[in-house]
Amino acid sequence: MVIGVVAVALSMRTLMTAVPPLLPRIREDLGLSSVWLGVLTTVPVLCMGVFAPASARLGLRLGVARCTSLAMVAVALGNLVRGVGHEAFALYAGTLLAGAGIALAGTLLPGIVKSSFPAGRAGLATGLQMFAMMGGAALAAGVSVPLADAFGDWDLSLGFWGVIAVVGLVLWLPVDRAVHRGGDHDRHPPDTSHRLPWRSATAWLVAGYLAIQSWQFYSTLAWLSPTYVAHGWEAQDAGLLLSVFTGAQFVSGLVGPAITDRVRDWRIPLVGACLCGLAGQFGVWAAPDAAPWLWAILLGTAQGASFAIGLVLLVRYAVSPAAAARLTAMAFLVSYTIASLGPTTMGAIRDVTGGYSAIFLVLGCLMVVQLGAALFLNPRREPVR
């Protein structure tokens, strides 16, 4: 199960992180504006929000293991479609298909963790998921430009991640077969309600927190690399900077949830992560060339821990695996739908202002809001049923 979860999680962010270092080439070849380039990150995030409720229902109907297999098929096909020619249609259609697969798998993974691991190890299991997710993201960001140089074009570099998704599917299939051969224990017949916890204040707080965090993460993901290209960096170096940003996440994404297994109040690591994020966002805004690698590490540390602990909250605040699936569906619907506007909105700000500094000023202010939300995430809040 651990190998399967890690294999699936590995492909959950490569779709987004492989793109930013290649944006100058894509812009030149296809003649796209900053807004349309931002849509390449917006589409997968919007999918994760819009398709989350349907994903939870499909998991109840077909079983989460089988649905995860279908999700990996979509992720693989979507990435491979992006590698077909210099066509804007293939680029966006493939992004949409893979985004739907990511939405399906991402919604179901917290429920899998809830049902497969004891409560005292939920943080560690989530951390391993984050470790793989952010590790894949860091790898994609760091090697997308070298792959494009080696293959001779950016589209083949994007399509390469479809092969990685196929490998993930192969490693997941034994879990799928074992679950269904054992009677499909990933279903939960006593609790087949499809109703999302709209009346739960706890669910709304978690969704709001994740919305702010995700807006910042995907906006930074989309625009950190182009910001430094605009400052005169080579595209490959800017890709390495993005790789450091995502690499710091897979470390903090493993450590942050593990800390929640050992401390009674998870607001302690949440506040620490927010403070790191404040320093990073305002650092890029006020002094981008002073310590770019430090800013990237601080931003990655903040985003990795913040999101990973948010995933732990989806497990800890739920009273059952089915409740965790419904809470995840609601939280993802709200948070990712809102966050999907982030990269495009920040791209519009860039076009209006003519520069990138205003993006990170806005993101720094949002981090202050995230810090306020984190203070209300008390472990003693009413659980979600």
Q: How confident is the model at residue 122 (pLDDT cuts 50, 70, 90)?
A: low
Q: What does the buried/exposed string (b/e) look like for 308-339 if buried means 16 or more CB atoms within 10 Å of the residue's CB?
A: bbbbbbbbbbbebbbbbbbbbbbbbbbbbbbb
Q: How confident is the model at residue 171 (pLDDT cuts 50, 70, 90)?
A: very high
Q: How confident is the model at residue 119 (pLDDT cuts 50, 70, 90)?
A: low
CB 281 within 8 A of CB 367: yes
Dump pLDDT digits (tens) for 2-25.
888 889 989 988 998 888 888 888
Q: What does the buried/exposed string (b/e) look like for 62-73 if buried means 16 or more CB atoms within 10 Å of the residue's CB?
A: bbbbbbbbbbbe
Q: Residue 204: its pLDDT value, please?
A: 95
Whether the per-residue pLDDT at 185 is higher than 60: the answer is: no
How confident is the model over 43-54, as a mean pLDDT?
A: 84
Percent of the chain predicted with pLDDT > 70 = 94
Q: How confident is the model at residue 189 (pLDDT cuts 50, 70, 90)?
A: very low
How confident is the model over 117-133, as a mean pLDDT?
A: 72
- CATH T-level assignment (fold) for domain 2-374: Growth Hormone; Chain: A; (1.20.1250)
Q: Residue 123: its pLDDT value, please?
A: 66
Q: Residue 121: its pLDDT value, please?
A: 66
Domain definitions of the chain by residue range: 2-374
Whether the per-residue pLDDT at 97 is higher than 70: the answer is: yes
- Of 137-146, 175-184, 247-256, 260-269, least confident by mean pLDDT is 175-184
| Listed ranges 175-179, 189-193, 353-357, 361-365; the one with the highest mean pLDDT | 361-365
